[in-house]
Structure 1
Amino acid sequence: MTRRAWWLVVLNILLPGSAQVLAGSRGPGRFGLRASLTFVLLLVLTGALYKVNPALVLTVATNSIGLWVIAAVMVFYSALWVILTFDTLRLSRLVKARPKARPYIAGLATLVMIVVAGSSGYGAYVATTASGVLSTMFITAPSEPPVDGRYNILLLGGDSGPDRDGMRPDSMSVVSIDAETGQAVIIGLPRDLTLVPFPEDSPLNAAYPNGYGYEDYCDVTACMLNAIYTEVDQKSPEMYPNAGAAGSEPGIEGMRDAARGITGLTIQYYALIDMQGFSDLIDALGGVDINVAERLPIGGKEDLSDVEGWVEPGQQHMDGFTALWYGRARHGSSDYDRMARQRILQQAILTQVTPANVLTKFQGIAQAGQQVVKTDLPQGALGYFTNLAGKTKALPMSTVELVPDNGVDPTDPDYDYIRGLIAAALSPSVPE
């Protein structure tokens, strides 16, 4: 009877339902076997399909309906495992097994039940939570096609801290991604870029046909690139009456037109990351590892008075607060140094974030993500872009910073030269 009890418990672990069939409870056993084999078959088919078409599997896994179906399957299998485990213990007749073996048999069955049912239950929780988060963060709209084989995404870092009046994008870049290979190029846009041109179809082109701030004319104090957001948002939101319906804002659309004019690229999507909430996101991910080149002040003034602390040089594992100041600090250095650090931070996050990291800390990441990110990326395209991001992560990422070191004078920029720099980075010559 002791051997029988061990066999039934082990069989229940290996193939739920088989213990019931062998012990004579054929009705529940057959149901459990069919359910277990169906679940295994689904896993095998999903794995095979992922090998052939990963974007399709990821599309289902990032779709609200698909996530609820996954959650329902997880809950069903979790409940089935609990029921079959207790039934297996009943059928094993532990009272007839050796007294010393009883706690070990029951303990093994209970431990595996807790692990499997708990994992399935957590998977259902992640799926339902993810469905809500993705529905909140991403819009429902048709996907945009690649242009010249690339997707170009405007990435804005909005600084809306307690020491700021409103929000202004102090970090601006365009991430250009090859739609097939995932090879990415980050184009850094300095916030003090002047005489920004706008495409002919932009409402800002009519207001500034010779470039933003030509002859020092604009509707805000400083006629620089990052002031376009403030001007459109606060002075002339009527320029973009359909922005809200498209999951955007007038100020963001003004910045998108500016990025189009500067780079000559079609900007299909944008992502606005609130820098204050960014700190929470880094904490939720468990921090980020950065090799700091120089000592950087935390807070303080331009003369480095009232500094709250320092980001010390060397290899650092940063929490969100430190990472935010690593990317934000400019006192004692320059805006261009800050741009370079922001690229390092972006690449470090992309490299160090893993699926396991996200799953184990999902609740904190989900809460931070809802507060941090605003984007017009459609939810239906998430599977494709998640797959593309996996390719991007595996490849070296290049940058084009529009700064004096690259021959760009932000106070008197040559936009033909700038577009030539970008074109060369996106289509590098290949030696014979």
Structure 2
Amino acid sequence: MPAPNTKKRDENRLPKREYNKPQPIYRSRRERQRKKKTNWLPIVLLVLAFIVAAVAGALFASSSLFDEKPVAKKTEMMASGDKTVVMLMGVDEREGDVGRSDTLMIATLDPKKKKAAILSIPRDTRVKIQGHGFDKINAAYAYGGHKLTQNTVENLLGVEMEHYVLINVNAFTKIIDAIGGVDINVEKRMYYEDPWDDNGGLVINLYPGQQHMDGKTAITYVRYRDEEGDIGRIARQQKFMQAVMDKLTSPAIIPRIPAIIGEVVDCIDTDLSVKQMIEFMSALKDAQARGLQTEMLPGKPMYIGGISYWLPDLSKLRTTIANTLDVEISSSLRSATEREMLEYESSIPDDAQEIPLNEATRRQLGLDNDKAEDGSKDKDNRKAGQSEDMDDETESGSYLSDPYAEDGDPRHGRAAHPASDSTDSSAHHTPASLPEPSAPAPSPTVPSAGKTAN
């Protein structure tokens, strides 16, 4: 019989698992069973990750929460120089589902100059995924986790992702409440009912004007999707992110930090060290004071086979990345970009239809109207006479008629599982927007006079 272990444990020492390896992004099976449906893009969580890391670093500055992971160098990639490029992902996983990335952003951080830029990548972006052909970029996580997503993003942007941050989006409501809510200027009337929602029914009922939103109200704002689909929603969420950054950089947030830690710390998985995240948080805060640079992946929305995609403009995209990194695009990368553009254009069927965006959305996302239309004129004749068909499709329950619908399962707002080849949405019930009440209830929040959203 082995002798009992009489060595006393140092009570001041953290458990080994807390400082020796990354903590899992997901909780126990029992906790996952209690997860609520999260069909939105909670950009705020990606920002709060740095807040939590900074506070944790102050408490445990003598140790590292994570091991540094070397990333293999790849050919035909732009060099980031003194800047660090981090892939930020918000992942939505449900019981019996491997999950997909609901939020995907690329943060370029310069701790020395205390500058930061964030590029939003729509989850509907049509890309070539290694081993799977062309698909929406959010499918890469379902196919191969964050590693395949990282590979896909690198091939798209032409720059290496040095680190990643994954965040479970399950804690959105509690986190917004923990920071004391946010102030948002709602740009228009937003009304939608979905009695088949997983949570026992969904009602989005917002009125125009400046409002202070708690977590429950904020969910309805970031979940709402109008006729512009995922692109219009990203525009609203960039606006929401700015409001959150304003709140996080105010002195009033200091007493709320412990509550924020409690809500976020269990939802993060990353290969960044504590020191790195403290530096990045400092860069984000200083960049916010100067005006945080946020951009949208250049491109245009189109229907392909009845499915909505965001088609990237590879040439403009890589020029944008090079400008952000202050580097020149090499001749080899230019040649590779030209080859990829030819392959991409040839993969688009002749009956593809462009989806119009209104001017307000274009301004919010910084899209160039002329550039967005460039290359699409040759399709104008094809699209003539098809607009009526598009209207009929929208009315019958297409991607745009349902605020949460994607190809595959409009009721749950998720694309079909990668293992399935079916894109027939007729097998699913698509909830239509119900008529507004004849006497709408007052706004759940009282508009504040004299404020404007940033």
**What TM-score, normalized by structure 1, do the two folds share?**
0.52
Equivalent position SS for 2:264: helix
User: Structure 1 residues 393, 270: closer, same or farther in 2, change over 3 A?
Assistant: same
Question: Which of 392, 399, 410 lines up with 2:294 in the alignment?
Answer: 399
Question: Which of 128, 141, 148 lines up with 1:196 in the alignment?
Answer: 128
1:68 corresponds in structure 2 to none
Give the distance between the partners of 1:265 and 1:346, measured in 2 at CA.
25
Unaligned stretches of 5+ residues in structure 1: 1-63, 65-125, 198-203, 215-222, 233-250
1:254 corresponds in structure 2 to 148
Residue 171 (structure 1) shift:
1.5
Equivalent position SS for 1:350: helix
Question: Which of 204, 208, 211 lines up with 1:316 in the alignment?
Answer: 211
Give the distance between the partners of 2:301 and 2:324, measured in 1 at CA.
12
The answer to whether the 8 Å contact 1:192/1:410 transfers is yes
Equivalent position SS for 1:195: strand
The answer to whether the 8 Å contact 1:285/1:361 transfers is yes
Give the distance between the partners of 1:386 and 1:412, measured in 2 at CA.
32
Residue 410 (structure 1) shift:
4.7
Give the distance between the partners of 2:196 and 2:254, measured in 1 at CA.
41
Residue 365 (structure 1) shift:
0.9
Count of aligned pairs: 263
User: Structure 1 residues 412, 368: closer, same or farther in 2, change over 3 A?
Assistant: closer
1:148 corresponds in structure 2 to 81
The answer to whether the 8 Å contact 1:285/1:365 transfers is yes
Equivalent position SS for 1:185: strand
Equivalent position SS for 1:147: coil
Residue 406 (structure 1) shift:
9.7
2:318 corresponds in structure 1 to 419
Deviations 1:293-337 (A, max 9, x none): 12334662899xx64132332212111222233223225541001
The answer to whether the 8 Å contact 2:226/2:232 transfers is no
Larger relative helix fraction: 1
1:343 pairs with 2:238: yes
Q: Aligned AA for 2:151?
A: D
1:276 corresponds in structure 2 to 170
Give the distance between the partners of 2:140 and 2:62, measured in 1 at CA.
29
Deviations 1:342-390 (A, max 9, x none): 2222222222214744431233211101233322211232332233233
Residue 129 (structure 1) shift:
11
The answer to whether the 8 Å contact 1:181/1:391 transfers is no
The answer to whether the 8 Å contact 1:187/1:422 transfers is no
Give the distance between the partners of 1:319 and 1:135, measured in 2 at CA.
36
Range that drifts further, 170-179 or 419-428: 419-428
Give the distance between the partners of 1:150 and 1:128, measured in 2 at CA.
23
Residue 405 (structure 1) shift:
5.4
1:360 pairs with 2:255: yes
Question: Which of 127, 136, 142 lines up with 1:224 in the alignment?
Answer: 136
Give the distance between the partners of 1:428 and 1:225, measured in 2 at CA.
26
Give the distance between the partners of 1:425 and 1:159, measured in 2 at CA.
29
Range that drifts further, 354-363 or 263-272: 354-363
User: Structure 1 residues 127, 165: closer, same or farther in 2, change over 3 A?
Assistant: closer
Q: Any residues of structure 2 matched to 1:32-431 within 5 Å, and which?
A: 131=59, 138-141=65-68, 147-160=80-93, 165-196=97-128, 204=130, 207=131, 212-214=132-134, 223-232=135-144, 251-297=145-191, 300=194, 307-354=202-249, 356-402=251-297, 404=299, 410=309, 413-427=312-326
Q: Aligned AA for 2:318?
A: R
**What TM-score, normalized by structure 2, do the two folds share?**
0.50
Give the distance between the partners of 1:134 and 1:259, measured in 2 at CA.
34
Q: Aligned AA for 2:92?
A: D
The answer to whether the 8 Å contact 2:188/2:207 transfers is yes
Give the distance between the partners of 2:61 and 2:98, measured in 1 at CA.
26
Residue 283 (structure 1) shift:
0.9
Give the distance between the partners of 1:302 and 1:281, measured in 2 at CA.
26
Equivalent position SS for 2:106: strand
Give the distance between the partners of 2:196 and 2:105, measured in 1 at CA.
25
Equivalent position SS for 1:283: helix
The answer to whether the 8 Å contact 1:298/1:311 transfers is no
Residue 182 (structure 1) shift:
2.7
Larger relative strand fraction: 2
The answer to whether the 8 Å contact 1:282/1:320 transfers is yes
Q: Aligned AA for 2:245?
A: L
Deviations 1:382-424 (A, max 9, x none): 33223323322211122321254599x9565442332123334
Give the distance between the partners of 2:62 and 2:221, measured in 1 at CA.
29
The answer to whether the 8 Å contact 1:301/1:331 transfers is no
The answer to whether the 8 Å contact 1:154/1:270 transfers is yes
Deviations 1:257-293 (A, max 9, x none): 1111111122122222222212211111111112221
Residue 227 (structure 1) shift:
0.4
Give the distance between the partners of 1:379 and 1:269, measured in 2 at CA.
13
